[in-house]
Amino acid sequence: MESSDPTIIDLKSSFLRAQIFALSQPLQPSQEWQDSISGEENTLRQRAIDEALFKLNTILKQHNKISYPPQAQRHVAEQIDQLYWAAGERDVNVNGEEWSEKGADYRLSSNIEKLPEEWSEEAETKAPKQAAKYKELQNKLLVLNEKRKAAKEKLEQCKAAKKLLEPFDQAEKNIQENIVTKNGEIEKELERMRMLMLRVERGIVGLEGKDREDHMDVDLEEDDREKLSLPYTNLKASEEFYAAVLEPLGYKMYLQTRNKTFFRPSWLFHPELSLRRDRSCGPIGGTRIIIHASSRSQVDKFYVLGLAKSNNIQSGEINDYSHAYTAYIVDFDGNVIEAIYLKSWVPKAIVPFPLTPAAICGALYLAVASSIFRVLGGWYYFIFNAIGMLTIADLVYVQLDSERSTQRLKILDC
């Protein structure tokens, strides 16, 4: 026997029809608005108002027929009915006791969490052993369920880590090589950047204009002027560099001005080398300076100090040839400073200093002068012999002492 009670679809369909019928009623102006219009205005405007209302109501009916057809009303009612059924199923699943049904899967966390902590009071009274066994198994299930959750979380973390490490399976293709190595890309780029910064600095300094002190930094006599003047962008850094590397070779800082620094050998009173601040945009560097050393130890000290100041192990090199022992250092602006020790095949016991052209000329001069003063005789010959012996002793001492040896400066363009 079928029930005569209306279904949810019937109830919602009738409700929708009633609402659509209410929306389809013709529109009429309110009584208050009509009372506010005077008689003359009402006579003149009533026809226009009626025409406007007629057109508006016609459009409203057409809109309701198109927007709310019977098929759409039925479809909305069915959707509402499905929502009711779905809500009822959720309530049954949440509030139900499917865990107590026969064949329930107690591996599911939802069923384990819904198990009551204790069996029913009736079961505890009639079967206390079974009730205690149930409580023990329920606690064990909860503990195992928590362990399973922790294991699942750990598994997800491991899967995520494995996914992140997948590029390392083919490291040669997916991983960039180590570029922070000797002769690597980083070192090459830093060297290019250093040269570029030097060029930029030269350009910026050149825009500031030349200072008058560049033309005359110090008033020296013609004989006291330096033999070589090198331009540099960073005068302070170059001063420290040259003061360190030239010290083992017997050169010392002689004079400093605002834009120039002079160096001279310890045995001379006039400078042989000067550094000047360059403010032009012209090329800097490309000059090779060769300084003769009197011993290998001087060359080694020069090389070690040069590497320490340049802070770049690739800025220099030592060469041990059959006739010479040399080392060179490249400064910050690209100039090459080389120290060279000429090896001698004559034992030091016989000739304690190198047989240079200057030494040979000095020996000839002493021989000729000795002959002349021997002819003169008397005190002249005695004084000359004393001075000659002192001079020879001083030369031997200077040549044997590596820190105060005689130097000669030569400049060769690269």
Here the tokens at position 82 are 């499905």
Q: Residue 378: what pLDDT?
A: 63
Instruction: Yes or no: say if 250 and 405 are a contact pair by the CB < 8 Å rule.
Output: yes
Q: Residue 143 is which amino acid? A: V
Q: Residue 414: what pLDDT?
A: 39
Q: How open is the CA angle 341-310-329, to the nearest 5 degrees?
A: 25
Q: How far is CA 124 from the centre of its chain?
A: 72
Q: Residue 402: what pLDDT?
A: 40
- Give every CB contact of residue 225 below 8 A, 6+ residues apart in sequence: 270, 271
Q: Residue 213: what pLDDT?
A: 43
Q: How far apart are CA 109 and CA 115, in angstroms?
A: 10
Run means of pLDDT, 10 residues per run, the chain, 414 residues: 72 87 84 71 71 88 86 88 76 53 72 78 77 86 91 94 84 69 78 81 62 40 56 79 85 79 75 72 70 84 82 66 82 83 58 54 68 65 66 54 40 39
Q: How far apart are CA 243 and CA 254, in angstroms?
A: 10
Q: How far apart are CA 357 and CA 47, in angstroms?
A: 134
Greatest Cα pair distance in the chain: 167
Q: Residue 148: what pLDDT?
A: 92
Q: Residue 229: what pLDDT?
A: 76
Q: Residue 158: what pLDDT?
A: 94
| Burial class for 90, CB neighbours closer than 10 Å (0-12, 13-18, 19+) | exposed
How, if at all, do strands 336-342 and 287-293 pair? parallel
Residue with token string 């930029």: 200
